[in-house]
C-alpha cells in the first residue's frame, strides 16, 4: 500500500533519469496517465504507453535525453502538495516555475493541467508538482 502514489511516480522518474535509464515502468492510475500525458505534450519525455494487465496496469515512460551530452530533459521534479499538507491556489495566485521556463502541474475541477493552461481557463486547484 503506497500512501503517496504521485510522489512515487515522480521518484521513479527521477531515479531512472539519474542513471540514464531509457524506459521506466510505473503502476498505472488515471492521475499518473494524465501526468505522463502532460510531460509528453510539454516535451519532457519522449513517449509513454499504458499497458493493461489483469491488475492495475503499467505505464511505460520513455525518458528524453540530449543526444550529444546525455543530459536528461527533466532537471528537477519537485512534489509540492503532499497528503499531509495540501497546497491550493486560485487562478490569480498560480505559481510561475523558473520564471516561466518550467511547469507546475495543477489538479483542477477540469482535470490535470499546467499552470499556464489553468491561468487561461481561469481555474485554480491543488499544486501537485513542479517540473523543470
Residue 5 has pLDDT above 80, yes or no: yes
Residue 21: give its domain's CATH number: 3.30.1370.30
Q: Which residues contact 114 (CB under 8 A, 6 or more apart)?
A: 38, 42, 103, 104, 105, 106
Of 13, 80, 12, nearest to 40 (Cα)?
13
Instruction: Kindly report the length of the chain.
Output: 132
The answer to whether 6 touches 79, Cβ cutoff 8 Å, is: yes
Residues 54, 16: one domain?
Answer: yes
pLDDT digits (tens, 9 = 90+) for 59-96: 999 999 999 988 999 999 999 999 999 999 999 999 99
> Of 63, 88, 108, which one is at a domain's C-terminal end?
63
Residues 21, 46: one domain?
Answer: yes
pLDDT digits (tens, 9 = 90+) for 41-65: 999 999 999 999 888 999 999 999 9
Residues 88, 125: one domain?
Answer: yes
Residue 123 has pLDDT above 70, yes or no: yes
pLDDT for 55: 87
Provide the residue range defining the domain that includes 123.
77-131
Model confidence at 127, in pLDDT bands (50, 70, 90)?
very high
Domain presence at residue 71: no
Amino acid at each position: 500500500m503506497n500512501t503517496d502514489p504521485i510522489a512515487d511516480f515522480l521518484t521513479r522518474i527521477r531515479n531512472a533519469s539519474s542513471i540514464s535509464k531509457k524506459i521506466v515502468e510505473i503502476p498505472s492510475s488515471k492521475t499518473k496517465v494524465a501526468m505522463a500525458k502532460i510531460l509528453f505534450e510539454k516535451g519532457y519525455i519522449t513517449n509513454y504507453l499504458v499497458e493493461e494487465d489483469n491488475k492495475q496496469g503499467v505505464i511505460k515512460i520513455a525518458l528524453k535525453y540530449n543526444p550529444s551530452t546525455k543530459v536528461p530533459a527533466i532537471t528537477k521534479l519537485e512534489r509540492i502538495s503532499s497528503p499531509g499538507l495540501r497546497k491550493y491556489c486560485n487562478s490569480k495566485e498560480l505559481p510561475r516555475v523558473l520564471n516561466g521556463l518550467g511547469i507546475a502541474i495543477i489538479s483542477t475541477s477540469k482535470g490535470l493541467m499546467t499552470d499556464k493552461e489553468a491561468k487561461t481557463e481561469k481555474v485554480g486547484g491543488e499544486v501537485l508538482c513542479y517540473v523543470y
